[in-house]
């Protein structure tokens, strides 16, 4: 049997850091309000020369270096983003061109904050179907460009960035226990007005701004996240005690702690980067993975659960052995 094994990871952040204190110059807020409600201390905001594709390209190059591979070794690029450089073509083909790749294929996936778990699951399916051998899976966003910077209830929550992993097809015998083990994806469009962008090509003709009923999102988040995590464990027939790391989507420290508590996962097994990066939507999980694998917390062979929930609503979880 073929398995999809992570063989490289990388991340990229914009040059500019914006602290909570700096946001006080824009809106009526405070460092203590933001930290208490969300755990966020700072975020990275893209400058004029930085875009979703440029950040995604940087993360991809770092993942290739980490894996000891070149673009020639990749046959599919999947980019999870809700903030593409252009309406079309896909940011994935933009990155393909930036990497100098003239072979293979590339496409974007749009599942907002759940984009990376959707993209990883899709890439795993291509690999297990024998249609790709190595897939570059990127989560890249410039949410700062969608924010209403006069709305204190949303603008303090988000940041920009990108992260990438490379999945490689390996025979069971070579992979050992490593690779993607199980996944559970969900969506329910009945919630679409709770977190959405009030513009688009086919409606207003402009980009629009992010709008959110924060309390409503919060109310649903923990239940949805824990449901898909339990579904992934059940599919894998693996007990939650065997988990080494939970790497959640980084939206809000209270949602992360609430989910971990409900599942009985101690916080020292949870990777938290929301304090540094804020909510970077589809980029948040690969950024957190690159942080924890980069500093040696996540080790080869560790059992890792990824989870996310976001606009749509969409939500999902992926269980893998690193």
If the CB atoms of residues 227 and 302 are measured against ligand ACO, the closer one turns out to be: 227
If the CB atoms of residues 104 and 310 are measured against ligand ACO, the closer one turns out to be: 310
Q: Which pair of structure tokens corresponds to residue 21?
A: 């204190």
Q: What are phi and psi of 232, to 5 degrees?
A: -65, -40
Query: From CA 187, how far away is CA 195, in angstroms rounded?
Result: 13
Determine if the peptide bond prior to 313 is cis (ω within 30°).
Answer: yes
Query: From CA 166, how far away is CA 168, in angstroms rounded?
Result: 6
Query: From CA 262, how far away is CA 256, in angstroms rounded?
Result: 10
Q: How far is the CB of 262 from ligand ACO (least distance, A)?
A: 15
SS3 193: helix
Give the residue at shortest CB distance from ligand ACO.
214
CB-based contacts of 148, cutoff 8 Å, min separation 6: 154, 155, 209, 210, 211
**Identified catalytic residue from 20, 66, 113, 155:** 113
Cα end-to-end span (Å), the chain = 18
Q: How far is the CB of 244 from ligand ACO (least distance, A)?
A: 24
Active site residue 277: no
If the CB atoms of residues 6 and 156 are measured against ligand ACO, the closer one turns out to be: 156
Nearest CA to 91 among 143, 54, 122? 54
Contact set with ligand ACO (CB under 6 A): 29, 33-34, 37-38, 113, 152-153, 156-157, 195, 212, 214-215, 217-218, 221, 249, 251-252, 279, 309-310
**Identified catalytic residue from 20, 155, 209, 249:** 249
Q: How far is the CB of 309 from ligand ACO (least distance, A)?
A: 5
DSSP run (H or E) holding 216: helix 214-236
If the CB atoms of residues 212 and 231 are measured against ligand ACO, the closer one turns out to be: 212
If the CB atoms of residues 63 and 306 are measured against ligand ACO, the closer one turns out to be: 306
Q: How far is the CB of 151 from ligand ACO (least distance, A)?
A: 9
Residue corresponding to tokens 């990871």: 9
Q: How far is the CB of 148 from ligand ACO (least distance, A)?
A: 12
Active site residue 209: no
DSSP run (H or E) holding 234: helix 214-236
Active site residue 249: yes
- Catalytic annotation, residues: 113, 249, 279
């Amino acid at each position: 049997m073929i398995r999809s094994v992570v063989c490289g990871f990388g991340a990229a952040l914009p040059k500019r850091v914006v602290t909570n204190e700096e946001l006080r110059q824009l809106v009526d807020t405070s460092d203590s309000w933001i930290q208490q409600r969300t755990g966020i201390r700072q975020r990275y905001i893209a400058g004029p020369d930085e875009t979703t594709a440029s950040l995604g390209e940087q993360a991809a190059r770092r993942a290739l270096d980490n894996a000891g591979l070149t673009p020639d070794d990749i046959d599919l690029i999947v980019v999870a983003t809700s903030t593409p450089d252009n309406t079309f073509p896909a940011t994935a083909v933009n990155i393909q061109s930036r990497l100098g790749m003239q072979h293979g294929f590339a496409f974007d996936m749009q599942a907002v904050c759940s984009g990376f778990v959707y993209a990883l699951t899709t890439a795993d399916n291509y690999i297990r179907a024998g249609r790709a051998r190595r897939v570059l899976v990127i989560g890249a966003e410039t949410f700062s460009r969608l924010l209403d910077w006069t709305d204190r209830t949303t603008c303090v929550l988000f940041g920009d960035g990108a992260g990438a992993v490379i999945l490689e097809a390996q025979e069971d015998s070579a992979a050992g226990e490593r690779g993607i083990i199980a996944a559970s994806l969900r969506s329910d469009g009945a919630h679409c007005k709770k977190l959405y962008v009030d513009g688009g090509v086919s409606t207003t003709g402009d980009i629009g701004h992010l709008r959110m009923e924060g309390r409503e999102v919060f109310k649903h988040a923990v239940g949805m996240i824990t449901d898909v995590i339990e579904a992934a464990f059940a599919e894998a027939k693996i007990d939650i005690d065997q988990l080494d790391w939970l790497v959640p989507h980084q939206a809000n420290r209270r949602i992360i702690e609430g989910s971990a508590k409900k599942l009985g996962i101690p916080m020292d097994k949870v990777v938290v980067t929301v304090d540094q990066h804020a909510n970077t939507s589809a980029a948040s999980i690969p950024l957190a993975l690159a942080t924890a694998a980069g500093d040696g917390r996540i080790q080869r062979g560790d059992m890792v659960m990824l989870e996310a929930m976001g606009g749509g609503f969409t939500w999902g979880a992926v269980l893998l052995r690193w």
